[in-house]
Structure 1
Amino acid sequence: MTFGYHKLYIGGELVDSVSNKRQSVICPADDRSIAEIAWAGVEDAALALKAAQKGFQFWSKLSLAERTEWMTKLRTAVIENEHELRAAMVYEMGKTYAGAWEDIEGLINGLEWYPAAMKNMRDEQIPDYENTHTHKMVHQPAGVAVAYLAWNFPLLNVGFKLGPALASGCSIIIKPSAVSPLSAYLIGKILKEIDFPAGVINILCGPSSEVAHTLTTSKIPAVLTMIGSTQTGQKVIADSTTSIKKLGMELGGNAPFIVFEDADFEKALDLAIGLKFGNTGQICVAANRIFVHQSIYDKFLRAYIKRTSELKLGHGVESKADMGPMVSKKDRDRMFELIKDAISKGAKLEYGGNIPKGKEIGNWLEPTVLSGMTTDMDVFRKETFGPIASLMPFNTDDEVLTLANDTEYGLASYIFTNNHKRIERFSRDLEFGEIQINGVKYSIYLPHGGIKNSGIGHDCSHLALDDYLVKKRISIAL
């Protein structure tokens, strides 16, 4: 399947890059080029900044009802183009067609939910102790926002940023990942087709050293927001200091998945499989380190290996596969390095770990299970971001709590137990921004954010609006 050539979307127009450079988009399943995109540079980034400035002057002055009307129009157009957008994600980064629905859902939910959330924003009245003044706190759109997006959920990530930015009254520049830019460029095409107000949304991709550096170091953006690795987040923070900007960052994760002896065994098993191998393990909230109580460890490991062996690999819009290829050979090679490191330090390769037979072309890797994980292994210390499940037994609550918190990251965590005192303790003492107990739920209205080196602020929920709003105190003498 091929998608042709797609242009930058800047200032309400579809344009070639100033340099006329193009970049091929490569399918990870078979190494074939599926599209070409206009490849932006410094000059294009500068044009996007100017366009976004103009767009902000227009958009910020619209009423919420007017902004909602445009957002609804875009939402409708996304739904009408659902198949093409889902197919683009399947072929640009390898996710399953069923999995691509999560991206569409995230985008359309964001465009619908945030205008409603803005309706609930209220000015805060502050009483005056001496009865000499009236005081109130009001919120206003911050200005131009720049969003850097990860490749693993190309359009869900767009929705997480586009929804709150537009609803709050900000204009936005979206830089999708160079690994999976096609679906975002298709959004640019849709925006042009519906004649969305010029400059309010701008979409471009190019080398980070040119495009991201220009955007980040500029004094025009009031907001820098991103979804990506902790290392990239640190780079953006360092480069942003040309001016004081609001920062919102969802960064790396190293989620513990803790199964106690009194857990619902089958539910924990199901979710340990889904959270590890969904999206080929390329999820920031994936079950990275699976801790299982010693009394049920052997049983759980046997069942986990069996379930892993039943996963179906495949690719394409007609495929019913459970798992696709990894996004790049670089990322797949990183998996081989993690497996090699773990085995050299005493882990046992229980299943997988190789390129599947008949899938030598592309970036394929078997779903992999390692037992005997220890704290000196890279699979314990680093964010795996791939289809490697690493399991480790534990004996006591104190032991597993220490193991779970022994990481620089603090995004998601999962525990399975029916002991209420244990739930209370682990809810308090786990050092993660999200603690999910006996189940998993993510939704546009639920806050999503990390602590420690996993981020600043929140995606989703009303809290995401804070990134795009500034507060002002207005005091009037009586």
Structure 2
Amino acid sequence: MSNVKRLYIGGELVESGETHDVISPATGEVVGTIAWGGEKETLAALAAAQAALDSWPTTPVEERISWMLKLRDEVVAHADELRQAVADEAGKPWEETAEDVDGVIDSLTYYADEIRSFLAPTELPDLDGSYRNEMIYEPVGVVGAFLAWNFPLLNLGYKLGPAMAAGCPIVIKPSSKTPLSAYLIGELCAKVGLPAGIVNIVSGDNAAVGDTLSGSTIPSMLTLIGSGSVARRIMERGASSIKRYSMELGGNAPALVFDDADLDLAVDIVVGLKFKNAGQICVTPNRVFVHADVADKFTGMVVERANAVRIGFGPEGTVDMGPLIDGSALGRIKGLVDDAVADGAELLVGGGRAESEDGGTYFQPTVLRDVTADMRIYKEEIFGPVVSIVTFEDEADALAQANNTDAGLSSFIFTPDADRINRVSRGLRFGEVQVNGVKYGMDMPHGGIKQSGLGHDGSRYALHDYLAPKRVSYGITEAANPFKKSAPAEVVDAAAIN
């Protein structure tokens, strides 16, 4: 596969008039060049997807499944190339790149199987017995998908599998920061000979590509993994027509560590999620609420782990954490930490840019304690390797603080107390509650409430976003015709009776 990547539109790999260099955040070097899409290319992709509506939605499900599995097998065969692309464009340690590629493989595999049972008609009861009623599903139509850069292929997998299974042609806009791996998927689509227009991949300027995609009347659904500000822009421009939306918009996840918690487990989960992918994970604990009785011990354990993190970009097994995505992210997180310290938080370790021989945008693993609700770092999604610790003494107060956010994606509880788990899990206003562990997978629904989004990625719940329910009622008795006129009553001659 060439390092110069082309757009994938209408079943063909195509060039454009512009190119765009992809910069590695780990080294600051150019790691690839892509064809740079604009309004023209986006309109072409939309037209190709619309044309595919003539055949793809009515393609027998087993044939759709066959195409999905052909593409999956090519992803498996080219896993190392795809992983290298993710490592280059996102700066991830090699071990972490497997999750991205597995996301595409798992999605195509899972939805190829799940769609069979999902499409089976559901019988609806009929109160008067005059009809036989069925609920069936059909594709909503063309889908426009906007991907975040933090998991370039996992995010693509979240959209690709359900769209293909449901019969929805899709136009995918990967982030311009991490488009290489998505363009490689386009090459694999071309290699297997995927029918034209089913999948289209265009990266480019947000205004030229993103606004054209969301403002078009062709898509019936727009789906995003990204920020709330981007979601609002997409929805504003999407008002050109009535559309569905499925959006995962990040979070401000609380982790509640009670005095009876398994601290080794809690530290493993919190530190694992905060320093994996340099903390650039939407579900990572943003605010860690720790009971006062165990706060010192918990904090000491986290600091010890933070000091042991190996930073850099190297061979397998040599580093634990890569860089932030770019200099802008580094400056933003530095600002959050500095503001917190200025407002009274205690900086225990880290707090600034990490020096590295690679020259990338690395940030030190950082631990803050005495974080309070009036600090920006409490209110905003950090999206970086910073553990913010808040001490509490009362369960009700901890729950109220945890819910003190407009976000509502993930949350975490650490305690063995079943009654407490029941109370707190039902009291947390988040789409996901993780108790004494962390569980994610393509078979698990992933979605938020409040300002964290609409709909779901993963599981059969995602198919509800891509499929429209349709009721079909079959009349089976005379009562099914409410307009049938009764026979006229027989006229009786009163005189004859007399």
- Report the TM-score range of the alignment, normalised by the length of the smaller protein: over 0.9
Unaligned runs of at least 5 residues, structure 2: 477-498
Q: What is the aligned partner in structure 2 of residue 351 from structure 1?
A: 349
Relative to structure 2, which stretch is displaced further, 312-321 or 231-240?
312-321
Secondary structure of the residue aligned to 1:59 is: coil
Q: What is the aligned partner in structure 2 of residue 205 from structure 1?
A: 203
8 Å CA contact retained: 2:254, 2:402: yes
Relative to structure 2, which stretch is displaced further, 114-123 or 441-450?
114-123
Tell me which amino acid in the other structure corresponds to 2:92.
K
After superposition, the CA RMSD in angstroms is 1.3
Q: What is the aligned partner in structure 2 of residue 162 from structure 1?
A: 160
Q: What is the aligned partner in structure 2 of residue 12 from structure 1?
A: 11
8 Å CA contact retained: 1:87, 1:317: no
Secondary structure of the residue aligned to 1:120 is: helix
8 Å CA contact retained: 2:95, 2:316: no
8 Å CA contact retained: 1:137, 1:473: yes
8 Å CA contact retained: 1:90, 1:317: no
Secondary structure of the residue aligned to 1:385 is: coil
Q: What is the aligned partner in structure 2 of residue 21 from structure 1?
A: 18
Distance in 2 of aligned mates of 1:310 and 1:201: 43
Distance in 2 of aligned mates of 1:127 and 1:435: 35
Equivalent in 95, 102, 106 of residue 98 of structure 1: 95
Q: What is the aligned partner in structure 2 of residue 403 from structure 1?
A: 401
Q: What is the aligned partner in structure 2 of residue 378 from structure 1?
A: 376
1:33 Cα deviation from its structure 2 partner: 0.6
1:317 Cα deviation from its structure 2 partner: 4.9
Equivalent in 328, 331, 338 of residue 329 of structure 2: 331
Secondary structure of the residue aligned to 2:236 is: helix
CA radius of gyration, larger in: 2
Secondary structure of the residue aligned to 1:209 is: helix
1:293 Cα deviation from its structure 2 partner: 0.5
Q: What is the aligned partner in structure 2 of residue 298 from structure 1?
A: 296
Matches within 5 A, 1:12-91: 12-17=11-16, 20-91=17-88
Q: What is the aligned partner in structure 1 of residue 479 from structure 2?
A: none
Secondary structure of the residue aligned to 1:464 is: helix
Distance in 1 of aligned mates of 2:242 and 2:67: 30
Secondary structure of the residue aligned to 2:474 is: strand
Matches within 5 A, 1:385-400: 385-400=383-398
8 Å CA contact retained: 2:356, 2:362: no
Secondary structure of the residue aligned to 2:210 is: helix
Equivalent in 425, 428, 431 of residue 426 of structure 2: 428
8 Å CA contact retained: 1:410, 1:453: yes
Matches within 5 A, 1:80-229: 80-121=77-118, 122-229=120-227
1:127 Cα deviation from its structure 2 partner: 2.7
Q: Could you give the per-residue CA deviations for residues 226-253 of structure 1, whole angstroms, max 9, x where no partner exists?
A: 1001111111111111111111011120
Tell me which amino acid in the other structure corresponds to 1:62.
T
Relative to structure 2, which stretch is displaced further, 65-74 or 114-123?
114-123
1:455 Cα deviation from its structure 2 partner: 0.6
- Alignment CA distance shift 1:356-1:3 (3 Å): farther
Q: Could you give the per-residue CA deviations for residues 289-341 of structure 1, whole angstroms, max 9, x where no partner exists?
A: 11111001011111110111001112145453110011000000001100111
Tell me which amino acid in the other structure corresponds to 1:377.
M
Relative to structure 2, which stretch is displaced further, 337-346 or 51-60?
51-60
Distance in 2 of aligned mates of 1:440 and 1:3: 38
1:410 Cα deviation from its structure 2 partner: 0.3
8 Å CA contact retained: 2:355, 2:362: no
Tell me which amino acid in the other structure corresponds to 1:371.
R
- Alignment CA distance shift 1:346-1:198 (3 Å): same
